[in-house]
Amino acid sequence: MTITITAFAASPDRGRGLARDMRVRWALEEVGQPYEVRLVSFQEMQQPAHLALNPFGQIPTYEEDGLVLFESGAIVLHIAQRHAGLLPIDANARARAIMWMFAALGTVEPPIVDLEQSEYIEGDRAWFAERRPMIEARIRKRLDELAERLGDADWLDGGFSAADLLMVLVLRRLEGSGILQDYPTLSAYIARGEARPAYKRAFADQLAVFTASQQAG
Ligand code: GTB
């Protein structure tokens, strides 16, 4: 069984591990599955060969013995269901972990992506100074609620799961925004995720892609 994923040949994040292939890399490292990475340029992502894998022309994609998947959340769920280590065995605990996976991607991530994209796309508009605090307030509401629920627990619901993997990476997207410093328990939660050996291997591998692209000129 060979697993192949796609990732940016030249990630705009310059190796900070913010692109969504990091989710898949980390999940595969957690469950101990080797994988290959096919690097694609922005141009290649719009070509028929890549669009056949992902109709939206995005990374990451996942190929395994004739199975083709896109959407990082679906890929992580597939990995977690197929291999031990990322979801609890108990049926109710497993359902709750999957619920938290959806919460990370469907409830916590959207305002964070909105802030990122609006800074990039609308940052030079006069009205952005008024819009930014509104987006930030939406993010802070979610972080308040998340921090309240997490309390002083290490992970969202019992042991580390695919839900924590996704939530940590979603929260990491706020690094540099000045928001996380007001959430010490969430910052500690992110640090716990980043301290996992599987995270470190995944991070190092995606950073190596950036480093190699710099050396190639
Ligand atoms: N919902 C999809 C999923 O979860 O898989 C979203 C996939 C997605 O947004 N992919 C992005 C992509 O392919 C890369 S990760 N974009 C190219 C395109 O749409 O043409 C998003 C991303 C990109 C860059 C940074 N960064 O530079 O910090 C962070 C995150």
Question: 104 alpha carbon to ligand 1 midpoint, in Å?
Answer: 16
Claim to verify: residue 114 and residue 158 sit in the same structural domain: yes
Q: pLDDT tens digits for 195-215?
A: 999 999 999 999 999 999 888
Q: How far apart are CA 48 and CA 65, in angstroms?
A: 20
Q: Which residues of 96-134 are buried (b: 16+ CB within 10 A; e: fewer)?
A: bbbebbebbbeebbebbebbeebeeeeeeeeeeeeeeee
What is the structure's pLDDT at 125? 87
| Across 73-81, average pLDDT | 98
Domains held by the chain: number: 2
| Across 49-65, average pLDDT | 98
- Which pTM does this prediction carry? 0.97
Claim to verify: residue 130 and residue 187 sit in the same structural domain: yes
Say yes or no: CB of residue 119 within 6 Å of ligand 1: no
Claim to verify: residue 45 and residue 35 sit in the same structural domain: yes
Claim to verify: residue 183 and residue 208 sit in the same structural domain: no
Ligand 1 atom closest to the Cα of residue 60 is 5
CATH of the domain at 13: 3.40.30.10
CATH of the domain at 111: 1.20.1050.10
Question: Closest Cα to atom 28, ligand 1: which residue?
Answer: 13
Claim to verify: residue 111 and residue 189 sit in the same structural domain: yes
Claim to verify: residue 101 and residue 192 sit in the same structural domain: yes
pLDDT category of residue 124 using cuts at 50, 70 and 90: confident
Claim to verify: residue 78 and residue 115 sit in the same structural domain: no
Q: pLDDT tens digits for 10-51?
A: 999 999 999 999 999 999 999 999 999 999 999 999 999 999
Q: Which two tokens stand for residue 64?
A: 């395994």
Claim to verify: residue 150 and residue 126 sit in the same structural domain: yes
Say yes or no: CB of residue 19 within 6 Å of ligand 1: yes
Say yes or no: CB of residue 110 within 6 Å of ligand 1: no
Q: How far apart are CA 167 and CA 38, in angstroms?
A: 25
Domain that holds residue 105: 91-196
Q: pLDDT tens digits for 178-200?
A: 999 999 999 999 999 999 999 99
Claim to verify: residue 97 and residue 50 sit in the same structural domain: no
Backbone angles phi and psi of 175, in degrees to 5 = -60, 135
Claim to verify: residue 98 and residue 149 sit in the same structural domain: yes
Claim to verify: residue 192 and residue 202 sit in the same structural domain: no
Measured CA to CA in angstroms, residue 89 lies from 93, 102, 107, 196 at distances of 7, 19, 25, 21
Claim to verify: residue 12 and residue 76 sit in the same structural domain: yes
Q: What is the mean pLDDT of the chain?
A: 96
